[in-house]
Amino acid sequence: MQDYRKLFDLSGKTAVVIGAASGIGKAAAEALGSLGAYVVCADADIDGAKATADEINSVSEAEAVEIDAADGKQIEALAADVVRARRVVDVAVSTPALNIRKLIMDYTEEEYDRVMTLNLKGTFHFLRAFGRPMQQQGSGSIIACSSMRAVTIEPGLGIYAASKSGIAQMVRAFAAEVGPYNVRVNAIMPSIIETKLTAPIKERADIYNVYAAHTVFNRWGQPSEVGAAIAFLASDAASYISGSSLSVDGGWTAVDGPPTGLTSTRPST
């Protein structure tokens, strides 16, 4: 019988998480470390990355590295450094993103460039930088961060959504290109998650409740719930999954608007 516990075991694996200082990236790094991986915690916030690494070091091994996730040269250098030090890179995760919430007519060109440079171009650099060594070694799992905004929208999120849709398509294309080398490429699509970035929105009860009502659970998600999904995609338990965007959205994109509140549990006759 298949040892299913072993499929989730990441002992002996080397993982890189860009955006590991906080939020979803921090949760992803912790999840990977909890399953036994050696985790390189990379972030522009080096103090936050060190704090994450320190937490992981209580159960596994980790180190912290400072990086600008919008800088292609720094991403390439990170991948090269990890391969030089660890000989292989088994898992690579990237979570940083920028959202400037404005109507398209109000966007400046500079704001558009900022969003696209980090979200879309940053992911492009990430895929290439870690895809190369994984292709050469003949194995690996790459996980990018898209969003449920890739498939559903509201006013003021058009540019952000376009970047996240682009990530989903780029992941599909890259999965096809590196699949013959036994490299898997996937994305996650979270909905509203409780992080530092969403804290100002959470403080407004009216907005919190409206967004919560879009999910089938009537609540926001936790970073750990996304981190667990990332750990699954990183593991051998997901060995036949590639080119996918995994929704971690509390059912938001599965239902047409907020639930109706119907409460009858009697079976239909």
Listed by start position, the domains of the chain span 10-247
Mean pLDDT of 246-251: 96
pLDDT of residue 198: 73
Q: Is the pLDDT of residue 200 over 90?
A: no
C-beta of residue 243 within 8 angstroms of C-beta of residue 50: no
Say which DSSP state 221 is in: B
pLDDT tens column, 129-154:
999 999 999 999 999 999 999 999 99
Q: What angle do CA 157, 162, 166 make, to 5 degrees?
A: 150
4 is catalytic: no
Closest CA to 245 of 83, 123, 118: 123
Q: Which residue has the tokens 């009697």?
A: 266
Strand duo 14-18 + 245-248: pairing: unpaired
pLDDT of residue 265: 47
Cα gap 147→207, rounded to integer Å: 19
pLDDT of residue 262: 52
pLDDT of residue 71: 97
Cα gap 103→241, rounded to integer Å: 36
Q: Is the pLDDT of residue 266 over 60?
A: no
Q: Is the pLDDT of residue 258 over 50?
A: yes
Q: Of all residues in the chain, what percent carry a pLDDT higher than 90?
A: 87
Mean pLDDT of 177-185: 98
Q: Is the pLDDT of residue 260 over 80?
A: no
Q: What order of strands is seen across the sheet that includes strand 140-145?
A: 61-66, 38-43, 14-18, 91-94, 140-145, 183-190, 245-248
CATH number for the domain formed by residue range(s) 10-247: 3.40.50.720
Cα gap 11→189, rounded to integer Å: 26
Mean pLDDT of 95-124: 97
Q: Compute CA 134 distance to the chain's CA centroid, rounded to the nearest angstrom.
A: 19
Q: Is the pLDDT of residue 267 over 70?
A: no
pLDDT bin (cut points 50, 70, 90) of residue 264 is very low
Residue 182 region by backbone torsions, left for phi larger than 0, else alpha for psi between -120 and 50, else beta: left
Helical ranges in the chain per DSSP H: 4-7, 23-34, 46-56, 72-86, 109-116, 122-137, 158-178, 199-202, 205-213, 223-234
pLDDT of residue 197: 72
Q: Is the pLDDT of residue 259 over 70?
A: no
Residue of 160, 181, 208, 211 marked active site: 160
pLDDT tens column, 64-89:
999 999 999 999 999 999 999 999 99
| DSSP secondary structure, 228-268, as one string | HHHHHHHSGGGTT--S-EEEESTTGGGSSSS-------PPP
pLDDT of residue 269: 43
**Residue predicted with more confidence, 202 or 126:** 126
